[in-house]
Amino acid sequence: MPVDNLSLGRRTEPQQQVVKQAIHWLLRLRNNHGNPRLNRQCEQWRAEHHEHELAWQRVQSLQAELSNNLRAVPGAQVAFNTLENSAQGLGRRQALKLLSGALLMGSAAWLAKDTAAWQQWSADYATATGERRGFQLPDGTRIELNTASAVDLDYTAQRRLIKLTRGEIIVTCGGADQGASSDRPLRIQNRHGTYEPFDARFILRQEHDCTRLSVTHGQVAIRSGSTSVQALAGQSYLIDHHRVRPAPPLAMDAGA
């Protein structure tokens, strides 16, 4: 059973050995379809530690998409078969290097088009198309990922940073937590700006040419280049590399 409330501690990326184990489980399940005993063993392994579940999510979420896309790439299916045969000896980054190298030889255009798929694989938390998930972070902040979204976490003794690399998230953070960590404020960052919430609930959606922010509770400080704006509850803004401007409210109801 998937684990949504993951206790990250100081680690936000599974160790290579854990990723190798996740790939190994995936291949065993693919080669032993419908084996209930093996399914139970895999579920037990995933439940043993949050890193196991995180590694499993990464491997599982892209498995079907990569398999389908690779059929259309000349020579890439051979590379995928090689990856499967060598999976027990490969870490995540090594596996990606092998597969992406074959894809570049087979179709550079396909690889460029599917950059989002690689972002999903390497992200700390990600959702596939049609999937939505929520996660509780160690400081009490809750993030909800909409479909086809990805975030990276940078939580250290000096900072708390959530990086939106793809799609849309809803962030909920409490005032008590924010006040207790004034020397380590929570910040959300993407390619268009930085957002610092204060006892807030808001939606952040990264689009191609801008980012849309909609605040449903509290307030969020927006910083983009030399521009700073304080967004209050009920307000929405569009942010790009050059300016921050008011926008109509989102159609999606964050309180639903």
Residue 215 is part of a domain; what is its CATH number? 2.60.120.1440
Mark whether 137 and 241 lie in a shared domain.
yes
Mark whether 24 and 59 lie in a shared domain.
yes
Residues 6 or more apart whose Cβ sits within 8 Å of residue 230:
219, 220, 221, 222
Total count of domains within the chain: 2
Mark whether 163 and 111 lie in a shared domain.
no
Mark whether 26 and 77 lie in a shared domain.
yes
The pLDDT value recorded for residue 196 is 97
The pLDDT value recorded for residue 236 is 96
The pLDDT value recorded for residue 123 is 54
Domain hosting residue 78, numbered range: 16-115
Mark whether 144 and 212 lie in a shared domain.
yes
Mark whether 224 and 162 lie in a shared domain.
yes
Q: For residue 122, is it within any domain?
A: no
Q: For residue 256, is it within any domain?
A: no
Q: For residue 254, is it within any domain?
A: no
Q: For residue 7, is it within any domain?
A: no
If you search the block for the tokens 């693919």, which residue do you land on? 30
Mark whether 93 and 138 lie in a shared domain.
no
Q: For residue 128, is it within any domain?
A: no
Which residues does the chain have with pLDDT short of 70? 1-16, 31, 60-123, 175-182, 249-256
If you search the block for the tokens 């609930």, which residue do you land on? 201
The pLDDT value recorded for residue 243 is 92
Q: For residue 1, is it within any domain?
A: no
Mark whether 67 and 161 lie in a shared domain.
no
Mark whether 145 and 239 lie in a shared domain.
yes
The domain boundary, picked from 88, 115, 142, lies at: 115
The domain boundary, picked from 59, 80, 115, lies at: 115
The pLDDT value recorded for residue 207 is 93
Mark whether 155 and 224 lie in a shared domain.
yes
The domain boundary, picked from 81, 115, 149, lies at: 115
CB 121 within 8 A of CB 58: yes
Q: CA-CA-CA-CA torsion for 8, 9, 13, 19, nearest 10 degrees?
A: -80
Q: For residue 10, is it within any domain?
A: no
The pLDDT value recorded for residue 250 is 53
Mark whether 150 and 189 lie in a shared domain.
yes
Mark whether 34 and 104 lie in a shared domain.
yes
